[in-house]
Amino acid sequence: MKGKLNARDLFDHEIPKLLPEKPEVAKRINAVVGIELTGEDGGYWTLDLTENLVVERGRTKEPKCTIIAHTDDFEALLAGGSVRDLLQAFKEKRLQTSGHLPTILKLEGLLTSYSKMAS
């Protein structure tokens, strides 16, 4: 993936490709996580980061936690890779969550590292 980070590419192609290459990062999370992106190019992805390491479109499993954001915000935050910006987005509710927040914080590390590897 070159150029602007694209969430759809990230979850449809890049992360599924990278998961088997870096399984130890994903397995530290050891949970099913939902990604719900709104707006153009949005969608819902289920990341099973337990034993299977699978990314699927749609809510295919019950997530332990879910990240909810507008696609544009989500892409900008991941591309920026700034923890401070992520915190500010969460405080301002541009980045919403439901479920187990500690797991989402662990996921942040994975998404940041995978998006860097993919870009």
Partner 1 sequence: MGTDFAGTNLRDLIAFQTEAVSSHYDLPPQFFAGFLGPRMAYSCAYFTDESNSLAEAEENKLLLTAKKLDLKEGDLLLDIGCGWGSFMFYAAEKIGCRTVGITPAKEQAAFVNGVAEKRGLAGKVTAEVRHVYDMDYPQAYFDKIVTIGAIEHMDDLHRVFAKCAPILKDDGLMLVHGMTRPWKDREKELQGITTEAGELVKEHFGVGYWKSLWEVMEALEKNDFEILDHENITRHYQLTTERWFESLQDNEKEFAGKVVSEEKYREFMVFMAGYSIGFETSHTLCSQILCRKIQSGDIRPALPLTRQDMIVSTYKE
Binding footprint of partner 1 on the chain (CB under 8 A): 28, 82-84, 87, 90-93, 101-102, 104-106
Shortest reach from residue 28's CB to partner 1, in Å = 8
Q: In whole angstroms, what is the distance from residue 108 CA to residue 112 CA?
A: 6
Shortest reach from residue 61's CB to partner 1, in Å = 22
**Cβ-based nearer residue to partner 1, 4 or 101:** 101
**Cβ-based nearer residue to partner 1, 6 or 110:** 110
**Cβ-based nearer residue to partner 1, 27 or 83:** 83
Shortest reach from residue 53's CB to partner 1, in Å = 20
